[in-house]
A = this chain, B = another copy of it.
Amino acid sequence: MKMKYSGYKGKILRINLTTKKTSTMEITDEFARKYLGGNGFSARFIFDMVDPRIDAFDPTNVVSMMTGPFQGINIPTAGKYHMATKSPLTNGFFDSISGGHMGAEIKYAGYDGFLITGRSDKPVYIFVDDDNVEIRSAEKIWGRLTSETQEMIKEEIGDPKICVSAIGPAGENRVRYACVITEYRAAGRGGVGAVMGSKNLKAVAVRGSGTNEVADPEKFEEWMKWFNEEVKKVPALASGLPTYGTPVLVSSINNMFGAMGTRNHQTEFFEGWEGISGETLKKNYWDKDTACPACPIACSKVFSDKSGKWKGAISEGPEYETIYSLGSMCGISDAGAVIKADSLCDEYGLDTVSYGVVVAFMMECYQRRLISKKMTDGVEFKFGNDDAMVGFVEKTAKRIGFGDLMAEGTLRAARIIGGNSERFAIQVKGLEIPGHSARALRGMALGYATATRGGSHHDPRPTGEYAGASDRKAVEGKAAWVIGTMQMTTIGDSLVNCHFLERLLGFTLTQKYVDMINPVTGFGYTYNELVDVAERILDLERAFNVRTGIRRKDDTLPRRFLEEPIPEGPSKGMHTDEATLNRMLDEFYELKGWDKRTGIPTKEKLLRMGLEDVAVVLEKL
C-alpha cells in the first residue's frame, strides 16, 4: 500500500524463528504519524506482542529491529538503526540505537523494520535480500567473535558490502548485558544481544536495492544547507568532537565538574585522568578518524597502543563512557588497557559500560573483603589491576569461573554477594550507570531514577547541564527540564538519530526538531503534536514497565548516591538526598500526568495521548 507520508516503506517484516515462517505487516499513515518510527514503533509493538510477565529469554520475547523516517536519505547523524526487546537486565522495555548503515539497508530492502520472535532449535542467521528472506544455518559461525562473524557471513553470501549485525560469545551465553555489533558499532546496554542469543540467532544480514524518499525535497535541501552551516558554529561539533571524539569530555568532566566516577564512585575525581584524556589519546594513541554514514562530525576514532604495556591493542573507540567505566571506575589510568578491553568487549559482544561498572563493583567488594581470591579464580581484584579488568572480558563472555557471576550484572551480583553490597551497586533498575554523575548533575539524579531504561544517559541527557542551559544544582524546575530532555531523546530514538544533534537543535525538545521532521515526512506536525508523540511513546514504555511491576518505589538511586556526598573536588559536598529526590519525583509525576503515589500513568493522561487501549489494560492492574 502506498503511503501518504514519506520516509516509510509501509511494511514490517515478521520472522518466527521457531516455525521458520515469515510474513509482512502493513504500517498505516496514522500509525506512522502517531509513533514516528524506531523507539515509538518498538514501544507499540512490544507493548502489544510481549507478555510483560515473561522472562527475557522466553521464546515469545520479541527482538525489534527498526528504522525511522530518516534512514536511507543521507541526512547527517541518522546513519543508525534501532533495536528493542524486553531486557534481561532490567526486565523492562529496552531500546538501543547503534551506528552503521544497517538502518539504510533495511529501508532499501523495502521495510521499516523487523520483528523477530520464537527460537530456532539450531544456531541460525537471517538474510534479508529485498523480498527474499532466508533463515540460514549459523552452526559454523557459532562461537565466533563479532568481526569474524561479519566476515564469514559476507564471504558466504559473496558480498563484502552487505550489512551484518551480529552477536559475540557474550550474546550466545546470555550475558545479561551482551550487545549487538554492526561493523564496530554497538547496540548496547540492556542485553539485546543476550535475547538474540537466547533465540539461537547469531546475526542479521541485510541488503536492499531500493531507496527512501523525502516528502519535500526542496525544503529538505534548505534544511541540509542550514544544518551544514550551523554545525560549523558549534565548537563541540565543529572542533571538539571531530578532533578528539567523545574522550574530549574526560578533562572537563573530571577537572571542571569533578564528576567522573572513580573507583566505583568512592570519589568523582580521578587523579590519573591525564593517562586516559582525549588529549593524551589524540597525541599518543590516535590512528585515524571514522564516521557513521553521511555524518560530518566524524566523532569516531581508531586508537592503538603503540609502545605501552598493551602494545598492539587497537580499537575503534574507546568512547568517553568506556573510558569512565574501564578506566576511572576501575582506577586504571593506562589508556592502552582501556583500548585493549574495549576491543575485546566489541569482539566478544559485551556492553563496555556495564562490564566496566561490574569490574569496579567487584573491585570494591574485594576491597571490603566481601569476596576473596578463592571466589575470583585466584585473581587479585584490586583497583588499578588492569590484568583483571582486561582478562575477565573473555571469561565473562563465556561465563567461565567468576565470569559467570560477572555476566549477571551488578544488581544480581550484589544480591548474591550480600553484605550490604547493593548499597554501592552503581545501577538503577538493574542497568549500570554511565559516566555522568548522578551527584554532580541534579537532572541526571532525577533522570536516572525515572528513566524507562534505568541507569541510562540516553533517556535524560546531561549535555544541557554541562553547558549551563539548566543549572546543575537547581531543584526547582528540574522535573520540567528532565522531561524535556527525555522527550527529545525519545523523538531522536524514533527518528533513529544521533543525540549530538541536541547541541544544534537545543538541549531539549524544540521547534527545530519539528522543522527537521516535516520536510522529510510531510506530517506537518505542530510543536505540540510532536510533544504528544514523545509523551505517548514514553507513556507506552512506562505502561509496559508498570505491567512488569515497576512503580514509584523503583524510581530511585543507589544508596551511595542518596547518602554519601561527593567527598572531594569541584563538586565536593554535592548529592541528591532522598527527601530532595522525592520532591523532584512529586513534581515529575505531576507534570507527566502519572499518579504520584504509584507512578502509574493516569487514565486521563493516557486518553489524552490517544492510548485508550492502554488505559483499559492498566485499569485491570
Contact = CB atoms under 8 A, between A and B. Distances in A.
B412 A553 contact: no
B55 A552 contact: no
Contacts of A549: 52-53, 547-549
A19 B417 contact: yes
Nearest to A121: B404
Interface in A47-65: 51-60
A91 interface: yes
Contacts of A243: none
A60 B58 CA distance: 18
A119 B404 contact: yes
Contacts of A404: 18, 119, 121
Interface in A379-425: 399-405, 408, 412, 415-418
In this complex, the member of A20, A121, A403, A412 whose beta carbon has the largest number of chain B beta carbons within 10 angstroms is A121
Say whether chain A's binding surface is mostly helix, strand, loop, or mixed. Answer: loop
Interface string A526-557: 00000000000000000000011111110000
Given A375-B20, A412-B60, A91 B54 contact: yes
A361 B550 CA distance: 34
B416 A117 contact: yes
A412 B553 CA distance: 31
A55 B52 contact: no
Contact of A57 (B19, B53, B55, B117): B55
Copies in the complex: 2
Contacts of A375: 18-20
B56 A416 contact: no
Q: How large is the interface on A (under 10, 10 to 19, 20 to 34, 35 or more residues)?
A: 35 or more
B53 A56 contact: no
- Among A16, A55, A402, max chain B CB count under 10 A is at A55
A19 B416 contact: yes
A88 interface: yes
A367 interface: no
Contacts of A412: 54, 58-60
Contact of A53 (B60, B91, B598): B91
A118 interface: yes
A551 B620 contact: yes
Interface in A119-142: 119, 121
Given A19-B371, A415-B51, A59 B408 contact: yes
A402 B121 contact: yes
Interface string A593-615: 00000100000000000000000
Interface of A: 16, 18-20, 51-60, 88, 91, 117-119, 121, 371, 374-375, 399-405, 408, 412, 415-418, 547-553, 598, 620-621
Given A58-B408, A121-B400, 17 more contacts: A16-B418, A18-B405, A19-B417, A53-B548, A54-B412, A55-B55, A55-B56, A58-B412, A59-B405, A117-B416, A119-B404, A121-B401, A121-B402, A121-B404, A548-B549, A551-B621, A598-B621
8 contacts: A18-B375, A51-B415, A52-B549, A55-B56, A55-B88, A58-B412, A59-B405, A552-B620
